[in-house]
Chain A
Amino acid sequence: MRKRVVGEAGWSHSAIAGAVGFIYFFPVLFIILTAFRNRMDTLATPPKWFFSPTFENFYHIFYRSSSTTSEYISTGFHMYFFNSIYISGMSVILALIIGTLAAYGFSRHPLKGNETYLFIILTTRMLPPIIVIIPIFLIFRLTGLAGSYTGIIMMYTCFNLPFSIWMMKSFFDELNTEIEDAARMDGASERSVFFGICIPQVKAGLAATSVFALILTWNEFLFALLLTNKTTRTMPNAMARTIGGEINVDYGLLAAMICLFLIPIFFVTYALQNQLLRGVTFGTIKK
């Protein structure tokens, strides 16, 4: 019999996980299927699981039929997509950098009002955004930030800071400081302690924070709706186009957009999985 290694399991485990995963994933599967079928098949009763797939919906993401001629007009979707990637990417990176530094500061160099600062940072996430939308709108207008990339990126960075700070601080707190002290005594500078010792150990935290921050900004809707203009508009806005108007939701078009929209996040998360799952095998002992 194969020696059972701690932390590993065999195919029977896979089967259970597979079943659970499938059930959980089912609604998403429905969305993906919907992207490839026309509306009548989607709304068919009883449900039509076998249908002839069509790429019509994906085509409609990029081209819209004209009201006056029989030509097709570009919808400018590729721009929305690019905007989403750029804006989310930048704000996640910024939030990660600023947040991790701040978390390190809170953790290793606690100030007198540490708890209070951390708490206030947390409270900025507690209000429904609709309350601050008008003053923010006004401020953006006055400073000329409305519709610019800088403005919305700053906004999103700000959304992600509380979580990244709290998350990374939690990881930093768990680390054993003995190693760091030893390194310092050996003459290593603060910078090399930070980058060489602390950061590698909290990779899982960094990965998780990035994923969540990315998801949050990627799908953010209200502020994108109001603070972006034609050139900086993001994807969720485009999705709103499929709802209401002459017909109830255009399920196929929406599903197709969702599929496209999922792809970048999917890749990032998949790539970061390593960091997320690989254990810390330094042999460090919990404090």
Chain B
Amino acid sequence: MNSNNGFIGWLLDPKRRGPLLIAPAIFVLLLVNIIPLMWSFGLSFFKFRANKLKAPDFSWFYNYEKVLQKEKIWEALQTTAIIVAGSVGIQMILGFLLALLFAKKFPLRRILLMLILTPMMLSYVAVAIFFKLFYEPEFGLLSQFVQQFTGEMYVLLATPAGALIGVIIADAWQWTPFVMLLVLAGLVSVPKHLYEAAEIDRVSWWRTFTTITFPYVRSLLLLAVLFRTIETFKIFDVVFILTNGGPGTATETIAVLVYRTAFQYFRTSNSAAMGYILLFIVIVLTSLYLYVIKQRDSEEI
């Protein structure tokens, strides 16, 4: 089998296989992601503004205090939470239903599947711009549709609630295919003979679903929730283009706030602190989530 001489041998030794396999990944991540993250993190402990010539002063938790005291960040977090909950919720339900629809083979399936996957392939900017057009009171399809019934232009984005709904719909529309695809990948990996056996045994649809289908899909569904939540927390382009955080600050998500603080106000270290507070929150949520999953996993066994 393997020659066990010299460095190559040492490298290929079964014990080191694990680290060897993961090393390139860690290396790339370290270089491109982790070092800048550390830099940012460090910066959040200094007072630094990127457009002033002054060198940063070390100031412990000054930035964190300042950020946490400002009402704005709590509002932004709340707004972000609403958008995440709304959008991810819709994606899960709709995605799952769509996946069920496509789990069987039927004529034209491949083409129809592509139709549903297309929204995901569009860029954020494209989606945002065209949804903004759809929501336009004068030119938008939504308003014109409502006008048929009420005769008045419909201005969805005029109210905070309306604006939030507008953002949530645009985002959910774009990413439901993601969930659908993941769930579908799981659904199709269920071995056919299990279904056949269930059919022979005349098992009810619900039982088939919960005992055969769901276990296969579960891990992928959970993965989908995890990733979509993390990504949606960072939502920026759609909000920025669609409503610019308005009306007022009703749809100002944390990412928009961070952008303004970092780039428009040049409160660089302040924005770093904000970012890390967000990171902390997302880490806590994710850990909680993974913990609950593990608990249920062990319960099932």
The answer to whether B236 touches A128, judged by C-beta atoms less than 8 angstroms apart, is: yes
Q: A6-B196, A24-B116, A124-B29 are in contact. List 4 more A-B contacts (CB 8 A).
A: A11-B107, A109-B17, A123-B279, A218-B121
Q: Which residues of A contact B139 (CB under 8 A)?
A: 43, 45
The answer to whether B101 touches A20, judged by C-beta atoms less than 8 angstroms apart, is: yes
Q: Which stretch, A50-58, A60-68, A70-78, A205-213, touches the partner chain B?
A: A205-213
Known: A105-B19, A111-B19, A127-B275. A279 touches B125 (CB 8 A): no
Known: A105-B17, A111-B18. A270 touches B237 (CB 8 A): no
List residues of A (243-261) whose CB comes within 8 Å of B's CBs: 243, 249, 251, 254-255, 258, 261
A82 within 8 A of B: no
The answer to whether B122 touches A258, judged by C-beta atoms less than 8 angstroms apart, is: yes
A276 within 8 A of B: yes
B254 within 8 A of A: yes
10 contacts between A and B (CB under 8 A): A30-B130, A105-B20, A117-B26, A119-B286, A130-B255, A132-B36, A236-B123, A255-B130, A270-B114, A281-B192
Could you mark each residue 22-44 of chain A with 1 if its beta carbon is under 8 Å from any beta carbon of chain B, else 0?
10110110110000000000010
Kindly state the interface size class of chain A when it binds its partner. Answer: 35 or more
A residues within 8 Å of B by Cβ? 6-11, 13-14, 16-18, 20-22, 24-25, 27-28, 30-31, 43, 45-47, 98-99, 101-102, 104-106, 108-111, 117, 119, 121-132, 134-136, 139, 154-155, 157-158, 161, 163, 165-167, 170, 173-174, 187, 189-190, 204-205, 207-208, 211-212, 215, 218-219, 221, 236, 239-240, 243, 249, 251, 254-255, 258, 261-262, 265-266, 269-270, 273, 276-286
The answer to whether B133 touches A204, judged by C-beta atoms less than 8 angstroms apart, is: no
* Alpha-carbon distance between A286 and B283 when the two chains are bound, in angstroms: 31
Tell me the smallest distance from the CB of A159 to a CB of chain B, in Å. 8
Kindly state the interface size class of chain B when it binds its partner. Answer: 35 or more
The answer to whether B234 touches A16, judged by C-beta atoms less than 8 angstroms apart, is: no
Known: A7-B192, A102-B22. A269 touches B108 (CB 8 A): no
B37 interface neighbour in A8, A24, A124, A255, Cβ under 8 Å: A124
B292 within 8 A of A: no
Q: Which stretch, B52-60, B156-164, B215-223, touches the partner chain A?
A: B215-223
Max chain B C-beta neighbours (<10 A), residue from A16, A211, A278, A284? A211
Q: Which residues of A contact B120 (CB under 8 A)?
A: 215
* Chain B, interface SS category: helix
* Chain A, interface SS category: helix
Nearest A-chain residue to B126, judged by Cβ: A258
Max chain A C-beta neighbours (<10 A), residue from B20, B122, B124? B122
Known: A27-B173, A102-B21. A170 touches B223 (CB 8 A): yes
* Alpha-carbon distance between A285 and B216 when the two chains are bound, in angstroms: 11
The answer to whether B121 touches A215, judged by C-beta atoms less than 8 angstroms apart, is: yes
Known: A8-B106, A102-B21. A25 touches B28 (CB 8 A): no
B134 within 8 A of A: yes
Q: Which residues of B contact A46 (CB under 8 A)?
A: 144
The answer to whether B125 touches A119, judged by C-beta atoms less than 8 angstroms apart, is: no
Tell me the smallest distance from the CB of A63 to a CB of chain B, in Å. 22
B124 interface neighbour in A98, A117, A219, Cβ under 8 Å: A219
Nearest A-chain residue to B105, judged by Cβ: A8
Q: Which residues of A contact B65 (CB under 8 A)?
A: none
Q: Which residues of A contact B112 (CB under 8 A)?
A: 14, 17-18, 21
A99 interface neighbour in B17, B25, B122, B192, Cβ under 8 Å: B25
